Amino acid sequence: MAKKQDSFYFDNFIACAEDSCKAAQMLKETLENFDVDRLKAQLDRIHQIEHSADMKKHDMLDRLAKEFIPPIEREDIVSLSQNIDNMTDKVEDVMLRVYMNNVQTIEPDALKMVEVVVQCCEAVRELLVEFKDFKRSKNLKSLVIRINDLEEVCDKLFLNSVRDLYAESKDPLRIIAWRDIYIYLERCADACEHVADVVEGVVMSNS
């Protein structure tokens, strides 16, 4: 278990990942129960979550600047914090593209991808809970592998979704709008995998 004075960092990682999970779940609910008239309000709500995550990151960096001996390398804390924050940013980016591209109906493939994104974010949260006690954890490796596997699932969905879009649609605006959204959905899974990569690197360098 992390020492009491070190728990702040690990708890902050978990709290920021929870914001990512909230944002991903909100995105999923928005797409599943799509209502153009409510979209702007939902965009504002997801931005509030993103802002909350930013504030947590800034609190951590302020604390780190004054810390004499942090629990892991400063560079690792900064990298992990930024990568977790990036997860929430990417989820918000999807909602922004849905709004900016003036989407009127949701493609079924987007619902499949957003479900994987939610699972990725939840797996990262589990990973960071385990990371708090990484020297004793027996589940870290399996969680890293799970996140890698989910990212590969999202990659395959992305490839098939874009191909089907070009094969089936004659509407160039639909193609442009949804290709853009699919790219950003895939980036959400990439962001989760980047967090897992950083965690894996930190564990290896501290073993």
54-68 pLDDT, tens per residue? 999 999 999 999 888
What's residue 205's pLDDT? 85
CA-based R_g, the chain, Å: 18
Which of 6-10, 93-97, 184-188 bottoms out in mean pLDDT, i.e. has the lowest?
A: 6-10
pLDDT confidence of residue 4: 57
Q: Decide if 140 is inside a domain.
A: yes
pLDDT band, very low/low/confident/very high, at 120 (cuts 50, 70, 90) = very high
Q: What is the CATH number of the domain that holds 99?
A: 1.20.58.220
185 located within any domain: yes
Q: Is residue 1 part of a domain?
A: no
CB 51 within 8 A of CB 23: no
Residue 163 inside a domain? The answer is yes
Sign of the CA dihedral with 79 first, then 82, 85, and 86 last: negative
Domain count, the chain: 1
- What burial letters (b/e) apply to 48-67, b meaning 16+ CB within 10 Å? ebbebbeebbeebeeebeee
pLDDT on residue 1: 41
Q: Residue 198: inside a domain, yes or no?
A: yes
- Is 2 part of any domain? no
Residues 175, 165: Cα–Cα separation, whole Å: 6
- Other residues' Cβ atoms within 10 Å of the Cβ of residue 127: 26
Residue 182 domain boundaries: 7-205
Q: Is residue 87 part of a domain?
A: yes
Alpha carbon 105 to its chain's center? 24
